[in-house]
Structure 1
Amino acid sequence: MKLERLISIIYKLLNHDVLSASKLAEEFQVSQRTIYRDIDAICAAGFPVVSYQGTNGGYGMIDGYKMDRTLLGSYDVNTLITVLQGLSTVFEDERVNGTIERLQTIGPEHRTMNLSVDFENLQTDPEALRQLREAITERHVVRFDYINANNERLTRHIEPLRLHFKHRNWYVYGYCRVRQDYREFRLSRMLNFTRTQDIFEPHPEMLNEAAEAAVSEQQQQDQWKEVVLQVKPDALAEVMDQFRQGDKQFHPDGSMTIRIPVHEPLKARWLRSILLSFGSGVEVLEPTELRGVLREALHNTLKLYEEV
């Protein structure tokens, strides 16, 4: 613990002009006398610490002293700092802040911000996200109610292994004790999240990427279909926000035809919801079966408002 504190103090002195002993003592929750001893140890290790007297006095590194910057280039450092700052806003992790501070000591003195990353998502409970990360680190089983793709509310106990941020949402991947298999759960569908005191050990039959790719190439081709949409000019922005990777063809009248590969499109509820949200701005051209699925969904919706 003392060594970790000494290292942290060194990086803080490198990143600040002057830091008082009282501020350092408060941050590390030790006495000022302990900080004085720590400063003596840092000086003995060869770091040029300077003492400043007066009301705004304290400790700092001698002017011009910098740590070796050859480990990472300025581009690498700036990118790492930006990504870590995005994560720190989500997890409120002091260890991440400490890493940022260490990277700043080897970064350029005048850093220009040309990249910004925001991992925050209003659909995810930030406290559940932080609790999940702790559960993964400490190997705690977690319990929650989950709304699955069939809109069923079921209780799950999982051994969480890792968090994913994809498709603008957070997911947790782990071993589900109910299904006795590895599953992925979307955090926005979780209710009554609890981190239990039950500790788990990793299973020897850990699922890997090779096992996930065991489906034959022919089966994969059968499951993926091309969805073709005709997009009116007033719906271009909405469609491009949702389907950035589609094959786009623009027409003289301002409309667009876009082709999107989708896994089992007739079963994809997410695709149905997105297409219906476009209203009359988008028409499905192919597959024709998907047109029937959307027609039925619209018909069922209209039934709700027949008396209005």
Structure 2
Amino acid sequence: MKLERLLSITYRLLNNEVVSASELADTFGVSQRTIYRDIEAIGAAGIPVVSYQGVNGGYGIMKEYKMDKSLLGPDDIASLITLLDSTATVFQDERAQQTIHRLKSVQSRPGTTPSLTVDLGSWRTYNEILRELRTAINSCRLVSFHYMNAKDERLNRIVEPVSLVLKYDTWYLYGYCRSRSDYRVFKLTRMTELTALPVSFERHHDIQADDLFSGGNTQDQIEHAVIHFKAGPLARVLDEFYADEKQFHDDGTLTLTIVKAIDVDWLVEKLLGFGEEAVVLEPLSLRRRMKSKIEKMLAGYEEV
């Protein structure tokens, strides 16, 4: 109870220029003597509390310790609080929580409903992996895990973790793979048996993670495709292909046109998930790839 009161007093001091001891005592239902002891405890914790004498005196916090409200607009502060709050929840980050409290102290409209909501969380096990990897990154410790690559090979990897990257709806680990002697990107959903090793690394990683998805294998890509979808799965089509050109027809069907470079294997996998509801119109090479895949699938049911 005392800790909660100390935190509440600190936030009140951050949000106000001067607060009297009597006002604090009335607010928290304690004596002024208790408030004096609380103020001493807050000061002993390193927060620069200032005492103001006189009729309108009381307690405050040094202006230099507070964030300048002119640095950020109300919308900027609200957006930062929302993003940090999601990050702090996923990673159980105490420093992020402290930053949130500081930002709230300069909010001009505290307590208002945010116009932006971000939830970076996932299922519980996934969050635990994220926290373990971030701890390894911050402490420069090697991690070991089994990884399923695109060829369905499950191999052990020893990695110097550099950064966690959220791209679209998927988390990735970017790091230096000692097994391949090169930088690699690993999708977290394909990692199993993750272990933080009791071994530190001293390599300075100065490669920018912004470019980690650039390049790659472009030999098996197409830059144009037209697919016709029946009326049933259109909501799913919008979910999967929201950035591509769409033409809705009077009969409730949809023609999708892709005009960007896209991985053929990925596209075939997605289209097969729509079953008979999706028909590739062009190019011919993609139609042949779909037909070949379907024939191989049918071969497994010849005895049925």
- With structure 2 as the length reference, what TM-score do the two structures score? 0.76
Among the aligned pairs, what percent are the same residue? 40
Question: Secondary structure at the residue paired with 2:71?
Answer: coil
Task: Name the CA distance, whole Å, in 1 between partners of 2:259 and 2:125.
Answer: 28
Partner of 2:226: 228
Which of these residues, 246, 249, 267, is aligned with residue 248 of structure 1? Answer: 246
Instruction: After TM superposition, give the deviation of residue 161 of structure 1 in Å.
Output: 0.9
Q: Distance in 2 between matches of 1:81 and 1:147?
A: 36
Partner of 1:26: none
Partner of 1:150, secondary structure, is coil
C-alpha separation in 2, matches of 1:80 and 1:273: 37
| Cα pair distance change 1:46/1:287, threshold 3 Å | same
Where 2:115 maps in the other structure, the secondary structure is: coil
Displacement of 1:185 after TM fit? 0.3
Deviations 1:79-99 (CA, angstroms, capped at 9, x unpaired): 111111222221121222211
For the residue of structure 2 that corresponds to 1:132, the secondary structure is helix
**Is 1:163 aligned to residue 164 of structure 2?**
yes
Encode CA deviations 1:134-160: one digit per residue, 9 max, x unaligned: 111111111100001111100001111
- CA RMSD in angstroms, aligned pairs only: 3.8
Counterparts of 1:133 and 1:20 in 2: how far apart (Å)? 42
CA displacement at 1:250 relative to structure 2: 2.1
Q: TM-score, normalised by structure 1?
A: 0.75
Instruction: Give, in whole Å, the separation in 1 of the partners of 2:47 and 2:148.
Output: 58
Matched residues, number: 276
CA contact (8 A) 1:145 1:193 kept: yes
Alpha-carbon distance in 1 for matches of 2:195, 2:244? 40
* Corresponding residue SS for 2:159: strand
Return the match for 2:283 from 282, 287, 296: 287
CA contact (8 A) 1:15 1:101 kept: no
Is residue 229–residue 286 contact of structure 1 (8 Å, CA) maintained in 2? Answer: yes
Measured against aligned partners, the alpha-carbon deviations of 1:251-307 in whole angstroms (never above 9, x if no partner) come to 2322222122454533x2x32221111112211112222222222222232333344
Counterpart Cα distance in 2 of 1:251 and 1:81 = 43
Distance 2:268 2:29 in 1: 60
One-letter amino acid of the counterpart of residue 79, structure 1: S
Work out whether residues 14 and 60 of structure 2, in 8 Å CA contact, stay in contact via their aligned partners in 1.
yes
- Which residues of 2 match residues 134-173 of structure 1 at below 5 A? 134-173=135-174
Paired letter, 1:245: A
2:39·2:49 contact (CA, 8 Å) conserved in 1?
no
Does the Cα contact within 8 Å between 1:13 and 1:19 map onto a contact in 2?
no
> Is 1:131–2:132 an aligned residue pair?
yes
Give the alignment of 1:1-80 within 5 angstroms: 10-11=10-11, 14=14, 37-40=40-43, 45-46=49-50, 68-80=68-80
Tell me how far apart the structure 1 counterparts of residues 99 and 135 of structure 2 sit (CA, whole Å).
18
Distance 1:80 1:47 in 2: 32
Cα separation, partners in 2 of 1:104 and 1:153, compared to 1, 3 Å:
same
**For 1:46, what is the secondary structure of its paired residue?**
strand
**1:70 is paired with a residue of what secondary structure?**
helix
1:12 and 1:168, CA in 2 relative to 1: closer, same or farther beyond 3 A?
farther
Q: Which amino acid aligns with 1:303?
A: A
Query: Aligned pair in 2 of structure 1 residues 89, 39: CA closer, same or farther (>3 Å)?
Result: closer
- CA–CA distance in structure 1, aligned partners of residues 7 and 85 of structure 2: 21
- 1:198 matched to which residue of 2? 199
Once residues 272 and 215 of structure 2 are traced to their aligned partners in structure 1, the CA distance between those partners, rounded to angstroms, is: 34
CA, structure 1 residues 19+247, in 2 after alignment: closer, same or farther (shift >3 Å)?
farther
Provide the C-alpha distance between the structure 1 equivalents of 2:192 and 2:47, rounded to a whole number of angstroms: 53
Contact 1:123 1:188 in 2 (8 A): no
Between stretches 38-47 and 234-243, larger displacement belongs to 38-47
For structure 2, the residue ranges without an aligned partner over 5 or more in a row are 1-5, 17-23, 31-35, 53-57
Contact 1:124 1:170 survives alignment (8 Å): no
Q: SS state of the match for residue 105, structure 2?
A: helix
> Partner residue of 1:303?
299
Unaligned runs of 5+ in 1: 1-5, 22-32, 49-58
